[in-house]
Amino acid sequence: MKNAVFYSLAAAYAEEKGAACIIGGHNADDRRLFDDTSDEFFASLQKAITASSPRLRRRGLKILRPLKDKSKPEVVALAAGIGVPLELTWSCHRSGQEHCWRCDGCRRRAEAFQAAGVPDPLASKKV
Ligand SMILES: [Zn+2]
């Protein structure tokens, strides 16, 4: 459900800034866990967003999900391989200045880094 809100905000921003696409980072593991990361959800959402804005419709706004078929460990390995500053990524589902390392997002992050064989630069900050 929350992705409907996030992508609506992104669409409003795209409309004002002249963007032609919105890029989401959902992976195949997310698609198994959350209904609002499914292909059906995004097809409906894109239709609703473009129906609501002549500017986005003229621009042919697309919601792109280039990682949707990759597992979370594959995404971690890809990110590490292309030099993504992993210390700047955020996985925690709770608010705060640091990852909690107890929520589902933090647990899945730790599992993915371990499965990918990539050291998590934030792991040293575990409390
Ligand atoms: Zn957390």
Which residue reads 């599992």 in tokens? 111
pLDDT recorded at residue 105: 92
Q: How far is the CA of 96 from the centre of ligand 1 (A)?
A: 9
Supply the pTM of this predicted model: 0.83
pLDDT tens digits, 69-114: 999 999 999 999 999 999 999 999 998 899 999 999 999 999 999 9
Beta bridge pairs of residue 63: 22
pLDDT at 51: 94
113 Cβ contact partners less than 8 Å away, ≥ 6 residues apart? 73, 76, 119, 120, 123
Q: Ligand 1 centroid to 126 CA: how many Å? A: 10
* Ligand 1 centroid, distance to 105 Cα (angstroms): 6
- Separation of CA 109 and ligand 1 centre (Å): 9
Percent of the chain with pLDDT over 70: 98
Which residues contact residue 41 at a Cβ distance below 8 angstroms, ignoring those fewer than 6 apart?
3, 35
| CA 30 to ligand 1 centroid distance, Å | 16
Ordered by start, the domain boundaries in the chain are 2-64, 72-125
